[in-house]
Structure 1
């Protein structure tokens, strides 16, 4: 009888789902072609014309940002829809539920709003779902658990305001769960500890409260855990010592207290540890990269710190450390020991440092021998370290030739702090590189440019608070003055189409055009940008006529036929070759990056699903 009842329930559930698949948004059924046009009709503003070629007269599998898979010539289905970074306004249409074979849905970096349509959760084959950096709101449907094939879920940067759904633990295939920068509230569900394949858990910048569940220690595949900027309290569970694959741990800006787990970081893999702005006590564990600033840690620095030859960054400011500073840590590049109780002489720490802050301690003695100037990349604060230190630099200008802000500092840098840092150059700044510094405005940039007329490289990519007019004013000021400016990088600044000619007219003419190939795995850093010798990094895309980064094709037979931006041509994440559905060589990594067949074959494969690991995961176990 029980078996009969279970069978009957399965039949009813099947019929229920079948009914919902066939009745979405008040309509019985739609073809994939009609569904995509319905999705387009829910968009109220498309500034870059990303969807302009979607129409009723062409086959939808030829449309940009749509990828189809063909089991046979007559049976082609949409498996991927990627409308990332189109800056679209509107909503996500319920017609999305008619794309029954969809495996990848990426709508990140737009301005889509409203609640998520319930039909989205009927896409049971979905493996990759990225809705990040939009304005979606409301609560998450309990139907989220129906997406059991999902491996990647990113809802960060929206306006969701509800408790974390308990049934997220039923998505047992998840490798990445990113829900940061929302307004999720309540406690972290202990059920998350059931996600045995989870590699990345990001819940930062929410309103989560309560204790850290010890069940998180069961996530033995985890390599990134980010819970910063919440209201979490209590101690760090001892079970965190079991996270043997953890490389990045961020618990900053909470109300955590008590001692740190005894064996935290002893696995040898932990590289980034940020527990700042808490009330932690006890001794310091030995790890490779440490940020424990603004806690209540005390005692002397353990001499074992000198044993970590790869240690590059150490931030211990705002604690109660005492004793002397070990000269053995002189291989560091970033060192901040300010606002502690260190005493004694200052060791010769400077050979490799690009960041040093020893202020507000009780240091004394002779000043170490300094090089002619320090190659400063982010911030140097040496005054107030001790009286001899202050006296030594009172009449001596530290020559700041470069200011390069990237990585974690990008989100923190404001106009005020930039102006203060740039003032150290005394008007002799040569290179100014602000990568993704979204808080820098036209006013702050112009202040620095006016005070430093000899800047030769101005890199402000993805500084989205800057306007084209502001960039033109900065470029014009630099070229009309000393005429030292040789290179500008401005990719990611909005609405450049009407201003490219004005920018180019103020820059030196480049050499013969060098090819630029797309490579997703290249680090977005100052060094990678500096390899490009063009006077300006963007140009008019020959296909869509929008000002963007334009890439050449790695496939020699293509010539210039598929030269264009990423909105117009899908490219292999490995070699940059164009990929079309007709090539029949579209493959995916575990991270769902698209690859040509040659790059796919060259990567290490998983023994279970045969998909390769991208370079970021290539060293993982495959057994």
Structure 2
């Protein structure tokens, strides 16, 4: 290699080394004192050795701590799980209560805490300061108390997921005030009372909605307003709901999954038409539904699961198109359904 080429290569290497060091320095300087203080308070709220040694290392920007995500030097996401490490999620076992200090992370837009069986207590009121939050997830923990009323002040909130926990009380109607909230998951808790008719009432046009309130103790009827909501997914099974839900159906609807099993729903299924392009999973089992199965079910393009067992249905089970059921258990314990996969009609 010529002396000139060697000099060029050396200059190139030095330049890139300088840029790398500068980038590290800028990242370190970008992590604000406010964010570092809040994160260290979070860490110190749990037993020693819960977090890795990298947490609290003054030589490293907090933006590089496992489970922490930053944008323009501000902490914008926290992600913790007791499951195996994936992407930027920190695998830890959190024992105790949720620290109030999280509320001091003023730029936070996303928090995800999953599979933390030893995490107890209610969601701190100091978290009401997280007004930039878009994604809120607490999954599979022992968190208890009510669904926080302050969530209705999070105008940017898009997804709310607090499921497989121990929440009690009712669902705040004020959640319906959030025009960006398109996904509500509060399944497998101990929630009581009715489903607020306000949910998704101010959802921005064009946004598809997801709703999971399954495995609670909800009562009353499903709001008729839901008939005008563009649901992609709705799961209300394992509650104590009553009345008519036929308004959730329609040939042009967007729903890919409608799960209503194990309630006390009662309506005539005869004239119900099913979403042709989107429906994949339908479970109406263990209710008080009467009538017959509409022949239009054979027009559904990609139906993968259909269960109407333990109802009061009659008539011949339709066949044709992509609908050729083979599992008797999905049709048994009805008043007088007949035809394949059940006994022939008389």
| TM-score, structure 2 normalization | 0.75
Mapped to 1, the partners of 2:39 and 2:247 lie a distance apart of 54
* Residue in 1 that maps onto 2:344: 364
- Cα deviation code 1:403-438 (max 9, x no counterpart): xxxxxxxxxxxxxxxxxxxxxxxxxxxxxxxxxxxx
Distance 1:55 1:334, change over 3 A: farther
3-state SS of paired residue (2:242): strand
**In the alignment, structure 1 residue 116 sits paired with structure 2 residue 102:** no
Q: State the shift of 1:87 in Å.
A: 7.3
- Cα deviation code 1:532-570 (max 9, x no counterpart): xxxxxxxxxxxxxxxxxxxxxxxxxxxxxxxxxxxxxxx
**In the alignment, structure 1 residue 170 sits paired with structure 2 residue 153:** yes
**In the alignment, structure 1 residue 295 sits paired with structure 2 residue 274:** no
3-state SS of paired residue (1:157): strand
3-state SS of paired residue (1:321): strand
Q: State the shift of 1:178 in Å.
A: 0.4
Is the CA contact (8 Å cut-off) linking 1:198 and 1:222 kept in structure 2?
no
Distance 1:170 1:316, change over 3 A: same
With CA pairs under 8 Å and 6+ residues apart, which has the higher RCO, 1 or 2?
2
* Residue in 2 that maps onto 1:270: 255
* Residue in 2 that maps onto 1:51: 52
* Residue in 1 that maps onto 2:115: 133
* Residue in 1 that maps onto 2:331: 337
Distance 1:31 1:216, change over 3 A: closer
User: Which residue, out of 268, 285, 302, partners 1:310?
Assistant: 302
* Residue in 1 that maps onto 2:212: 226
* Residue in 2 that maps onto 1:179: 162
Is the CA contact (8 Å cut-off) linking 1:217 and 1:241 kept in structure 2?
no
Mapped to 2, the partners of 1:315 and 1:239 lie a distance apart of 25
* Residue in 2 that maps onto 1:159: 142
Q: Hey, which of these two has a bigger chunk of strand by percent?
A: 2
* Residue in 1 that maps onto 2:273: 286
User: Which residue, out of 180, 186, 190, partners 1:197?
Assistant: 180
Is the CA contact (8 Å cut-off) linking 2:80 and 2:112 kept in structure 1?
no
Q: State the shift of 1:310 in Å.
A: 2.5
Q: State the shift of 1:79 in Å.
A: 4.8
Q: State the shift of 1:228 in Å.
A: 0.6
Mapped to 1, the partners of 2:333 and 2:215 lie a distance apart of 22
- Cα deviation code 1:231-263 (max 9, x no counterpart): 11111111011112x111100011111111435
Mapped to 2, the partners of 1:131 and 1:158 lie a distance apart of 9
Mapped to 2, the partners of 1:56 and 1:299 lie a distance apart of 67
Instruction: Within 5 Å, give how 1:62-101 maps onto structure 2.
Output: 64-67=66-69, 78-85=75-82
Is the CA contact (8 Å cut-off) linking 1:257 and 1:281 kept in structure 2?
yes
* Residue in 1 that maps onto 2:22: none
3-state SS of paired residue (1:216): coil
Is the CA contact (8 Å cut-off) linking 1:217 and 1:239 kept in structure 2?
no
Mapped to 2, the partners of 1:262 and 1:67 lie a distance apart of 42
Is the CA contact (8 Å cut-off) linking 1:40 and 1:51 kept in structure 2?
no
**In the alignment, structure 1 residue 235 sits paired with structure 2 residue 221:** yes
* Residue in 1 that maps onto 2:15: none
Is the CA contact (8 Å cut-off) linking 2:76 and 2:110 kept in structure 1?
no
- Cα deviation code 1:461-498 (max 9, x no counterpart): xxxxxxxxxxxxxxxxxxxxxxxxxxxxxxxxxxxxxx
**In the alignment, structure 1 residue 258 sits paired with structure 2 residue 251:** no
Mapped to 2, the partners of 1:167 and 1:311 lie a distance apart of 40
Distance 1:177 1:81, change over 3 A: closer
Mapped to 2, the partners of 1:329 and 1:319 lie a distance apart of 25
- Cα deviation code 1:21-43 (max 9, x no counterpart): xxxxxxxx967667666655645
Q: Any unmatched runs of 5+ in structure 2?
A: 1-31
* Residue in 2 that maps onto 1:491: none
Mapped to 2, the partners of 1:364 and 1:86 lie a distance apart of 50
Mapped to 2, the partners of 1:32 and 1:149 lie a distance apart of 15
Distance 1:119 1:311, change over 3 A: same
Is the CA contact (8 Å cut-off) linking 1:87 and 1:110 kept in structure 2?
no
3-state SS of paired residue (1:184): strand
Is the CA contact (8 Å cut-off) linking 1:172 and 1:197 kept in structure 2?
yes
Instruction: Within 5 Å, give how 1:407-418 maps onto structure 2.
Output: none
Q: State the shift of 1:222 in Å.
A: 4.7
3-state SS of paired residue (2:313): strand
User: What is the RMSD of the two structures over their aligned residues, measured on CA atoms?
Assistant: 3.2
Is the CA contact (8 Å cut-off) linking 2:319 and 2:325 kept in structure 1?
no
Distance 1:320 1:120, change over 3 A: same
- Cα deviation code 1:284-310 (max 9, x no counterpart): 332323110111111111111122223
Mapped to 2, the partners of 1:80 and 1:263 lie a distance apart of 35
Distance 1:63 1:238, change over 3 A: closer
Distance 1:332 1:115, change over 3 A: farther
Mapped to 1, the partners of 2:223 and 2:176 lie a distance apart of 13
3-state SS of paired residue (2:296): helix
Q: Any unmatched runs of 5+ in structure 1?
A: 1-28, 71-75, 89-104, 347-357, 366-623
Distance 1:149 1:339, change over 3 A: same
* Residue in 2 that maps onto 1:465: none
Mapped to 1, the partners of 2:247 and 2:67 lie a distance apart of 49
3-state SS of paired residue (2:140): coil
Distance 1:179 1:267, change over 3 A: farther
- Cα deviation code 1:556-611 (max 9, x no counterpart): xxxxxxxxxxxxxxxxxxxxxxxxxxxxxxxxxxxxxxxxxxxxxxxxxxxxxxxx
Q: State the shift of 1:124 in Å.
A: 2.2
Is the CA contact (8 Å cut-off) linking 1:180 and 1:205 kept in structure 2?
yes
